[in-house]
Amino acid sequence: MSEIEAAIRENHPALITYITAGDPSLEDTREYVEALDRGGADLIELGLPFSEPIAEGPTIQAAINRALDAGTTPQGFFELVDDLETEAPLLVMTYYNMILQYGPEADVRPFVERAAEAGLSGIIVPDLPAEEADPLRAACDDHGLDLVFIVAPTTEGERLETIMSQVSGFAYVQARLGTTGARADVSNATHDSLARLSAYDVPKAVGFGVSEGDHAAEIIEAGADGVIVGSALVDIIAEHGEGDAPAADALEAKAEELKRGARRGGGVDVPEPEQP
């Protein structure tokens, strides 16, 4: 079992968090990652910013712009990861061109080697469908990294079958069509997708639109093993400025809320924290 799969199974129901590295600076990202780790995140995705994030909604697009404006580079990103020490395994989420360009030629291997060396446990690439993934999959296999695939509401039939038969780490269940972004409710598509996937014995985590503890509870109750939260956390970062300690506190509190929600959905009795 990979580190990622273990992190989900052993901390069931799991909380997976996403923030963009370098938003608003790599120094801040370090604080935020540690805060999320303390708050109960079981897996932490770090976005390596790419200039054309076609799968992202306005919130994460803005985060990526802030990170790029701050001069975030793949080198800086890996140096940050080099000395992060977290309980939760770390994944990198980035677009395929960033992976291809890391080495001197258009080749995925140097990136994967560096990711493994930095201690990352997996990679998620929103613009790399399974059909194009052979080179990256081979490199990840060689270095013991998971290559996590997304299952969309439109993924059906034979494609669903094959993607589910080769899940690496967990199945990233996209809760709804469209781009990332915090939403006020849990979509019907989430329930449909989880019902469709219930026969497969692989860890399933639901992302795209999850923003509150109550969503987490509902999603876990519907059969997911984990929830993935990004935009709601990025919103917190955006509200605070650079070098702002309260941002880390707010992220930690949000992670706690989400984790509590997830556990409630999983039937674990969790007392609400005492009101101050």
What residues make contact with another protein under the rule CB under 8 A? Answer: 50-55, 57, 61, 68, 73-74, 95-98, 100-102, 106, 126-134, 137, 149-156, 158-159, 162-163, 165-166, 174, 177-179
Helices in the chain by DSSP H: which ranges? 3-10, 26-39, 58-69, 74-82, 96-100, 109-118, 134-142, 157-165, 188-197, 213-221, 231-239, 245-265
Minimum distance, C-beta of residue 275 to another protein, in the bound complex (Å): 39
Which residues are CB-neighbours of 239 under 8 A, at least 6 positions away? 247, 250
Minimum distance, C-beta of residue 153 to another protein, in the bound complex (Å): 7
Nearer Cβ to another protein (166/198): 166
CB 206 within 8 A of CB 265: no
* Owner of token pair 């999320």: 36
Residue 230 has a CB neighbour count (10 Å cut-off) of: 28
31 is catalytic: no
Nearer Cβ to another protein (175/248): 175
Nearer Cβ to another protein (127/244): 127
Catalytic residue among 56, 218, 252, 257: 56
What is the rounded distance in angstroms from the CA atom of residue 84 to the CA atom of residue 92?
13
Nearer Cβ to another protein (128/248): 128
Minimum distance, C-beta of residue 85 to another protein, in the bound complex (Å): 26
Catalytic residue among 3, 10, 34, 45: 45
* Owner of token pair 């080769």: 166
Which amino acid would we find at residue 110?
Answer: P
Minimum distance, C-beta of residue 159 to another protein, in the bound complex (Å): 5
What is the rounded distance in angstroms from the CA atom of residue 77 to the CA atom of residue 124?
15
Nearer Cβ to another protein (189/247): 189
What is the rounded distance in angstroms from the CA atom of residue 106 to the CA atom of residue 225?
36
45 is catalytic: yes
Instruction: Verify cis geometry, omega within 30 degrees of 0, for the bond prior to 24.
Output: yes
Minimum distance, C-beta of residue 269 to another protein, in the bound complex (Å): 36
Which residues are CB-neighbours of 259 under 8 A, at least 6 positions away? 15, 39, 40, 41, 216
Catalytic residue numbers read: 45, 56
